Amino acid sequence: MQRICLFPGTFDPITLGHVDIIDRSLPLFDKVIVGIGLNSSKTPMFSAEQRLQWVQEIYKDEPKVEGTIYEGLTIEYCKMIGAQFIIRGIRYVSDFEYEKTIADANRTLDKSIETIFLTGEPKYTSVASTIVRDIIRNGGDASLFLPKEVYSTLNK
């Protein structure tokens, strides 16, 4: 049986912090699906299609990574795609508290799907999509926080 993992998020935009978590999850799973969740309570800066294109471009040479767009409960999407694991990145203790609450709810909904937390590299601790969007909106240099595939698109 393949070990399939879903890495859910908005990835608006995908940052070096996200890439760090994806890259470090590769040895753990046979397939890592980067799931761009559509969240009605968030208004993204970039279209879901653009975010998916970035994931596909960054991982074009890595057959274990697949990008997708989904709607609804993450746990239900995991069942639909056969993912037995959800991977989440943790930067701070406050991230853990929030993520644990979601993991507990998911475990209540389906005990067969396990959430795994990876702590981010210290150099990416301050990298958050919210901050990166503010830098972009205000004309700052976001290149230190973004994969080259994302940054080059923003400069067009």
For residue 63, what pLDDT is reported? 98
**Count of domains for the chain:** 1
Tokens of 25: 């999850």
Q: How far is CA 51 from CA 40, 44, 74, 128, in A?
A: 16, 10, 18, 15
Helix or strand or coil: residue 20? helix
For residue 41, what pLDDT is reported? 80
- 54: closest CA among 25, 21, 22, 13? 13
| 36 touches 68 (CB < 8 A) | yes
What is the extent of the structural domain holding 102? 4-154
Catalytic residue chosen out of the listed positions 25, 51, 88, 91: 91
40 is catalytic: no
133 is catalytic: no
Q: pLDDT for 52-87, tens place per residue?
A: 999 999 999 999 999 999 999 999 999 999 999 999
Band of residue 154 on the pLDDT scale cut at 50, 70, 90 = confident
For residue 42, what pLDDT is reported? 78
- Rounded to 5 degrees, what are φ and ψ at 90? -120, 125
Q: What is the CATH number of the domain that holds 76?
A: 3.40.50.620
For residue 92, what pLDDT is reported? 86
For residue 39, what pLDDT is reported? 81
94 is catalytic: no
Of all residues in the chain, the percent with pLDDT exceeding 90 is: 84
Tokens of 121: 């590299």
Q: How far is CA 4 from CA 31, 74, 84, 114, in A?
A: 5, 14, 6, 11
